[in-house]
Amino acid sequence: MENDKSAIEEEIQTTEGLFEHHAFTVDPGQSSLRVDKFLMSRIENVTRNKIQQAAKAGSIFVGENPVKSNYKVKGGDLIKVLFTHPPYENLLLPEPLPIDIIYEDDLLVVVNKPAGMVVHPGHGNYSGTLLNGLLHHFKQLPKNANDRPGLVHRIDKDTSGLLVVAKTEFAMTHLAKQFYDKTSERKYLALVWGDFEEDSGTYTGAIGRHPKNRLQMAVYEDNSQGKEAVTHYQVLERFGYVSLLECQLETGRTHQIRAHMKHYGHTLFNDARYGGDAILKGTSFSKYRQFVENCFNLLPRQALHAKTLGFIHPKTGKMMRFDSPLPEDLTDALKKWRQYAQHKNL
């Protein structure tokens, strides 16, 4: 999930040794809400306890005044949050982390990211990211428009699968243009709630930040509140209450598949952020509930895998296409659903 630049206005060190990481201007129409709950919905990977501890330490400000966690925000409030760790750009340190490299040449590298690994440092993830590992393996990487070395695109922390990383400025420019021009190929496998009447289709609708929960993306009818997004899907298997899809991205918006599927009634299986970690289809009788919970335990994340990645090589001009096997957690969950569907004759 990319940083919301409208929300993160500045990252500076204060004279007290704290670092300002977040500054939010409360919308005029915001209803009365405790500041800790307000910040919980706007800062990724932060716990309520961490917010409350920051408030106790006098590190949450409205204007120039520190406030307690029960302060009720009002429209127009400028809320600033300070923490003791440094700003993100100071976290780009090499770390000897294992990286699954499936292809490498002098211009680029293709990696298979495991679920649970964050792509680049951010709030709540100050080390151990893919980018920290890349900086250890490759001493010099070109910076993208967001000053993140080597990164051409990204996938969410709990999404597994393929990414291409640029090793030179030329490769960065060439690959970034392909993603911008929508000529790259990206296919995902997704296990979603619900069945489909059709075998394939296309979901459209602009994607932008959710008006109330800034950690979610929402789908809008026009582009005034978001950016155009197009997701093509094909049903690969039907299990009655859930379906396995192949999703091909025509655009690459933040949480695109997750937001589109939620909007059109097919939330990703076990996608906690979008409500997929509840039983959305089927009854709630004890045996079925236990079965679903067992599947959640096998697959403790959203059921999304970046399986196929294709692009034109910047030097040779040839189409390159890579494919990655399904990780064990998703394979195990699919096996359970196949067995359940056969048993129930769904």
In the chain, list all ranges with CATH 3.30.2350.10. 89-180, 185-344
Please report, for the chain, how many H helices and E strands are present, in that order. Answer: 7, 17
Superfamily of domain 89-180: Pseudouridine synthase (3.30.2350.10)
| C-alpha span between 219 and 34 (Å, rounded) | 27
The CATH class for the domain spanning 19-86 reads: alpha beta
135 pLDDT above the threshold of 90: yes
In the chain, list all ranges with CATH 3.10.290.10. 19-86
pLDDT-derived band at 83, boundaries 50, 70, 90: low
Query: Average pLDDT in the 303-328 region?
Result: 98
Of 195 and 58, which is predicted with more confidence?
A: 195
Dihedral over Cα of 268, 272, 276, 277: its sign: positive
Longest Cα–Cα distance of the chain, Å, equals: 67
* CATH architecture type of domain 185-344: 2-Layer Sandwich (3.30)
9 pLDDT above the threshold of 80: no
pLDDT tens for 140-152 read: 899 888 788 999 9
* Mean predicted lDDT score pLDDT of the chain: 88
Query: Average pLDDT in the 292-296 region?
Result: 97
- Give the pTM: 0.77
Q: Are 204 and 213 in contact (CB under 8 A)?
A: no
Q: Are 177 and 170 in contact (CB under 8 A)?
A: no
Coil, helix or strand at residue 134: helix
| C-alpha span between 176 and 182 (Å, rounded) | 10
pLDDT of residue 13: 28
State how beta strands 200-204 and 206-209 pair.
unpaired
Provide the token pair at 222: 């026009």
Q: Which of 22-31, 85-94, 294-303 has the lowest mean pLDDT?
A: 85-94
pLDDT of residue 213: 78
| C-alpha span between 186 and 318 (Å, rounded) | 17
pLDDT-derived band at 17, boundaries 50, 70, 90: very low
| Rg (alpha carbons) of the chain, rounded to whole number | 21
Looking at the DSSP bridge assignments, the partners of residue 242 are: 193
Which residue numbers are catalytic?
156
| C-alpha span between 67 and 131 (Å, rounded) | 35
Q: Are 267 and 277 in contact (CB under 8 A)?
A: no
| C-alpha span between 325 and 271 (Å, rounded) | 21
Query: Average pLDDT in the 11-17 region?
Result: 31
pLDDT tens for 250-271 read: 999 999 999 999 999 999 999 9
Q: Are 153 and 119 in contact (CB under 8 A)?
A: no
| C-alpha span between 151 and 102 (Å, rounded) | 16
Q: Where are the beta strands (DSSP E) in the chain?
A: 19-25, 33-34, 60-62, 65-66, 72-73, 78-83, 101-104, 108-113, 160-166, 185-193, 200-204, 206-209, 217-220, 230-238, 242-249, 304-312, 319-323
Percent of the chain whose pLDDT exceeds 90: 66
pLDDT tens for 47-64 read: 788 888 888 888 888 987
Nearest to 55 by CA among 39, 31, 75: 39
pLDDT tens for 87-109 read: 555 568 899 999 999 999 999 99
In eight-state DSSP terms, residue 8 is: -
6 pLDDT above the threshold of 60: no
pLDDT tens for 275-286 read: 999 999 998 788
